[in-house]
C-alpha cells in the first residue's frame, strides 16, 4: 500500500488547507485537495474516492476534480460514502445551485454519468480494486467515518476527523498487520476546549488515543490547522514518542 497525504501546494509541509489521501494511485480518501493540487494526469487515474464526511475541507475539490477529469469515454468516478453523507452532498453541493446535479444529469439517456455514489455500511468490508476497505464510525460534529485499508497482509487506518473514541481502537487492536494509523491533530493543547467542542484532537488527546492500541503501530498526525501547525508539531515532538510522527504532505508512506 502506498499512501500519500496530498498537500495544498507542491512542497512538503506540515499544514494543509484541506484534506485528501492518495492510495496506490487509483483510490483516494477525501477530496479536499485532489482537484486543486494534484497534477492532472494523476487526477485522471483516480477511479474511487472514499469520503469520511461532508465537511468542506474534505469535499471542496470534488466538483472541480470531476470537471477536470471528465471524458465521455471514462467510467464514472465512484464516490463511496455513507448514505447520510451522500444525501448531504446531493442536497448542498450537487444541488443545481452550488454545482450542477451531476447525478440527475447522468441519469439522462444521452449523457455519460460523471460520478456515482456507492453507499457503504459501517463495519461491512467491501473491495475497491485489490484493497479491502472497512468503514468505522468516529465521533465528530457530523456523521464521520474512518477507513481500514487492507492489502496483501498490510494494513493501515485512515481516521476521519474525530474526538476521543473507542470502537475504532478495538478494531485496530484486532487487525493483523496494522502498522500505520493516520489520525488528526487539529489544535494545540491550549485550545483543548475548542477541540472538545468541535470534536477534534490535540497532541495530548492523540497520545491518550494511541495508548488504546497495543503493539508496534506508528501514528501519523495530519489535519494540523494551518494557523496552529507549527505549535502542534512542536507539541507532538515534545511527547517524545518515536511512534508518533507528523505527516508531511506529498511524501509517500509505503505500508508493508
Which stretches of the chain bind Zn ion, using CB under 5 A? 55, 57, 161
Minimum CB–partner distance for residue 79 and Zn ion (Å): 17
Separation of alpha carbons 28 and 209, rounded Å: 25
Give Cα 248 distance to the centre of its chain.
Answer: 15
| Distances, alpha carbon 7 to alpha carbons 12, 33, 69, in Å | 7, 7, 19
Nearer to Zn ion, 24 or 161 (CB): 161
Q: How far is the CB of 84 from Zn ion (least distance, A)?
A: 14
C-alpha cell belonging to residue 250: 506529498
Identify the H or E element spanning 171.
helix 167-174
E strands, the chain, are 2-5, 21-23, 27-29, 48-50, 77-81, 115-119, 126-128, 131-138, 144-151, 154-158, 178-184, 218-222, 244-246, 252-254
Residue of 119, 209, 201 whose CA lies nearest to 167: 209
In the bound state with Zn ion, the residue whose beta carbon lies nearer, of 150 and 161, is: 161
Report the alpha-carbon distance of residue 230 to residue 171 in Å, rounded. Answer: 32
C-alpha cell at 106: 447522468
CB of 52 to Zn ion, least distance (A): 8
Q: Which residues of 45-57 are buried (b: 16+ CB within 10 A; e: fewer)?
A: ebbbbbbbbbbeb
Residue 161 or 209 with smaller CB distance to Zn ion: 161
CB of 215 to Zn ion, least distance (A): 28
Distance, CA of 18 to CA of 203 (rounded, Å): 19
The least distance separating Zn ion from the CB of residue 223, rounded to whole angstroms, comes to 6
Cβ proximity to Zn ion: between 44 and 194 the closer is: 194
Cβ 161 to Zn ion shortest distance, Å: 4
Going edge to edge, which strands form the sheet with 126-128? 126-128, 131-138, 144-151, 154-158, 178-184, 218-222, 244-246
Quick one: 179 or 198, whose CB is closer to Zn ion? Answer: 198
Closer to Zn ion by Cβ: residue 55 or 210:
55
Smallest separation, CB 133 to Zn ion (Å): 20
Residue (27 or 59) nearer to Zn ion, CB = 59
Amino acid at each position: 500500500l502506498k499512501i500519500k497525504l496530498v498537500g495544498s501546494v507542491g512542497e512538503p509541509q506540515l499544514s494543509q488547507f484541506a484534506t485528501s489521501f492518495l492510495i496506490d494511485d487509483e483510490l483516494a480518501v477525501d477530496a479536499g485537495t485532489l482537484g486543486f493540487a494534484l497534477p492532472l494526469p494523476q487526477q485522471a487515474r483516480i477511479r474511487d474516492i472514499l469520503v469520511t464526511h461532508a465537511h468542506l475541507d474534505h469535499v471542496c475539490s470534488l466538483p472541480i476534480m470531476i470537471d477536470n477529469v471528465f471524458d465521455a469515454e471514462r467510467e464514472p468516478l465512484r464516490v463511496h460514502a455513507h448514505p447520510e453523507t451522500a444525501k448531504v452532498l446531493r442536497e448542498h453541493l450537487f444541488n443545481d445551485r452550488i454545482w450542477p446535479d451531476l447525478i440527475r444529469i447522468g441519469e439522462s439517456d444521452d449523457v455519460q454519468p460523471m460520478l456515482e455514489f456507492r453507499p457503504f455500511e459501517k463495519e461491512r468490508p467491501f473491495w475497491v480494486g485489490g484493497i479491502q476497505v472497512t468503514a468505522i464510525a468516529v465521533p465528530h460534529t457530523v456523521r464521520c467515518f474512518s477507513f481500514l485499508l487492507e492489502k496483501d497482509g498490510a494494513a493501515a487506518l485512515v481516521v476521519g476527523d474525530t474526538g476521543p473514541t473507542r470502537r475504532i481502537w478495538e478494531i485496530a487492536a484486532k487487525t493483523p498487520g496494522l502498522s500505520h494509523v493516520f489520525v488528526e491533530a487539529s489544535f494545540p493543547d491550549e485550545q483543548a476546549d475548542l477541540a472538545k467542542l468541535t470534536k477534534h484532537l490535540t497532541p495530548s488527546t492523540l497520545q491518550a488515543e494511541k495508548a488504546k492500541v497495543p503493539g508496534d503501530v506508528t501514528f501519523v498526525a495530519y489535519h494540523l490547522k494551518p494557523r496552529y501547525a507549527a505549535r502542534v508539531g512542536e507539541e507532538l515532538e515534545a511527547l517524545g514518542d518515536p511512534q508518533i510522527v507528523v505527516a508531511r504532505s506529498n511524501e509517500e508512506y509505503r505500508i508493508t
